[in-house]
Amino acid sequence: MQKKLKVVAASVLFASLSACSLLPEQSDETKGWSASKLYSEAKEELAGQHYERAIQLFNKLEASYPFGVYAQQAQMEVAYAYYKSQDQAQALAAVERFIKLHPNHPNVDYMYYLRGLINFNDQIGLLNFVYEQDPAERDPKATREAFAAFKALVDKFPESQYAPDAIDRMKYLINAMATYEVYVARYYYRRGAYLAAANRAMDSVREYSDSPAIEEALWIMIRSYDKLGNVALRDDATRVFKQNFPNSKFLDEGAPKPERKWWKFWSAS
């Protein structure tokens, strides 16, 4: 019986090997391609928005020609391709890898800039929560990371061609972070959590003193302290408010208007 089982097993193995030998070998169309050929084909795929194929070709280029200038360029292009395909995690990983491997590359400033853009576009989506989700449920981590990335670019490469745009985006991000804090403060105020509202508004005033959002932050502080019966802090906040915003609309209307959609300018970025 045991002998018969061995014969059957051998027959099955032989049949499997024979079947495999009948299958056509999977061909690699890129076999033998030069570095320049791989790069040009990958760039063409990238331009055509075929990001997955472009990434495959760039990775093939780096694997086949790891020590040439094309390999370094391929690493940068892969990061950009992941960014365009909205794969944030892979894009950031590719950026960090390039910066670590090539800290002195002549175009490393672009990778710092791209790192900011990746997080910047993610936080644009975060702002959409305003009408969809309670603000206390979200944390603007991507906003802070985008700001830090752009700041690193400006600090390390102040003469970079990407620095002016990074500075503009940093200004926007400051407003975005301040607006987030004010929105949360308003959220707390409307639910009767006046101490939490006052503290959140104070955070905005302290951290983002140059943002237009602090006008409403101060107004929330005034109203919150009034609700809490803290006359001293209310009057102090009122003094600062009137000194900085003597013609504020809040003084006439007594309550803040809905948020202005000032961030829409960036929605196309």
For 30-86, the pLDDT digits (tens) are 777 889 999 999 999 999 999 999 999 999 999 999 988 899 999 999 999 999 999
For the entire predicted model, the pTM comes to: 0.71
For the stretch 85-130, pLDDT in tens is 999 999 999 999 999 999 999 999 999 999 999 988 765 544 444 4
The domain limits of the chain are 33-105, 120-253
Distance, in Å, from the CA atom of 236 to the CA atom of 240, rounded to the nearest integer, reads: 6
Distance, in Å, from the CA atom of 223 to the CA atom of 196, rounded to the nearest integer, reads: 12
At position 18, the amino acid (one-letter code) is S
As a whole number of angstroms, the longest Cα–Cα distance in the chain is: 102
Residue 266 reports pLDDT greater than 50: no
For the stretch 123-177, pLDDT in tens is 554 444 444 444 444 557 888 889 999 999 999 999 999 999 999 999 999 988 8
pLDDT at 269: 39
33-105 maps to which CATH number? 1.25.40.10
Distance, in Å, from the CA atom of 56 to the CA atom of 129, rounded to the nearest integer, reads: 35
Q: Architecture of 120-253 per CATH? A: Alpha Horseshoe (1.25)
Distance, in Å, from the CA atom of 126 to the CA atom of 141, rounded to the nearest integer, reads: 9
Do 120-253 and 33-105 have the same topology in CATH? yes
Q: Tokens for 138, please give them.
A: 């979200």
Question: Which range scores top for mean pLDDT: 3-17, 130-144, 250-264?
Answer: 130-144
Residue 221 reports pLDDT greater than 50: yes
